[in-house]
């Protein structure tokens, strides 16, 4: 396993996420999914874990981990996870810092952090085209459990599990 650059640091924020929120707001002007009011309000009230990834003095990226109620932007839904389940719902590294194993180490550290806090089931969702993200999570030990296809017909959400099995809601897959 390659060593992590000693300039890299990882901090876990739960009660006070202010070390990250202004950064999310600023970069959210370009990367619009980063700063979504509904998501951040729930992250605060439900005690989500935000992982700040810094390099030198600067924030290079983050991981957001949902527990209990979690707004999943990709599905436009709130999913309530059972106790002992955590869900990584957003991982990001600024383009200039990519390809240096930062997210890999942050994921590994996040898994240890969550396991120490008795989370036994840790989930994430990744789009099939996202080769870099698939690599990071696979090499961190994640195993694929299913594929979910999401679309809307006349505004109604439709979920297909493994390409063919219709699901009434995303909760029945993840919750």
Ligand X SMILES: CC(C)(COP(=O)(O)OP(=O)(O)OC[C@H]1O[C@@H](n2cnc3c(N)ncnc32)[C@H](O)[C@@H]1OP(=O)(O)O)[C@@H](O)C(=O)NCCC(=O)NCCS
Query: Among residues 4 and 78, whose Cβ is nearest to ligand X?
Result: 4
**Closest distance of CB 99 from ligand X, Å:** 5
Query: Among residues 131 and 154, whose Cβ is nearest to ligand X?
Result: 131
Query: Is the separation of the CB atoms in 59 and 28 below 8 Å?
Result: no
Query: Among residues 121 and 168, whose Cβ is nearest to ligand X?
Result: 121
Query: Among residues 58 and 83, whose Cβ is nearest to ligand X?
Result: 58
**Closest distance of CB 98 from ligand X, Å:** 3
Q: How many CB atoms lie within 10 A of CB 50?
A: 22
Alpha-carbon gap, residue 47 to 79, rounded angstroms: 14
DSSP percent split of the chain into helix, strand, coil, nearest 5: 30, 35, 35
**Closest distance of CB 85 from ligand X, Å:** 18
Which positions touch ligand X (CB under 6 A)? 91-93, 98-104, 126, 130-133, 135-136, 139
DSSP designation for 158: E
Alpha-carbon gap, residue 150 to 53, rounded angstroms: 30
What are the strands, taking DSSP E only, across 58-115?
58-66, 69-72, 77-80, 85-93
Q: Looking up tokens 């009434």, which residue turns up?
A: 168
**Closest distance of CB 11 from ligand X, Å:** 16
**Closest distance of CB 123 from ligand X, Å:** 12
Query: Among residues 98 and 171, whose Cβ is nearest to ligand X?
Result: 98
């Amino acid at each position: 396993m390659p060593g992590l650059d000693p300039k890299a640091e990882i901090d876990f924020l739960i009660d006070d996420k202010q070390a990250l929120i202004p950064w999310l707001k600023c970069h959210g002007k370009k990367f619009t999914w980063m700063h979504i009011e509904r998501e951040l309000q729930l992250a605060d009230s439900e005690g989500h874990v935000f992982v700040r990834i810094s390099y030198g003095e600067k924030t290079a990226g983050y991981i957001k981990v949902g527990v209990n109620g979690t707004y999943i932007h990709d599905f436009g839904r709130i999913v309530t996870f059972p106790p002992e389940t955590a869900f990584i719902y957003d991982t990001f590294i600024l383009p200039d810092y990519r390809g240096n194993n930062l997210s890999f180490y942050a994921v590994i550290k996040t898994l240890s952090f969550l396991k120490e806090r008795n989370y036994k089931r840790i989930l994430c969702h990744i789009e099939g085209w996202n080769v870099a993200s698939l690599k990071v999570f696979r090499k961190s030990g994640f195993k694929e459990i299913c594929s979910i296809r999401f679309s809307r017909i006349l505004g109604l959400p439709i979920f297909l599990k493994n390409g063919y099995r219709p699901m009434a809601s995303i909760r029945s897959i993840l919750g």
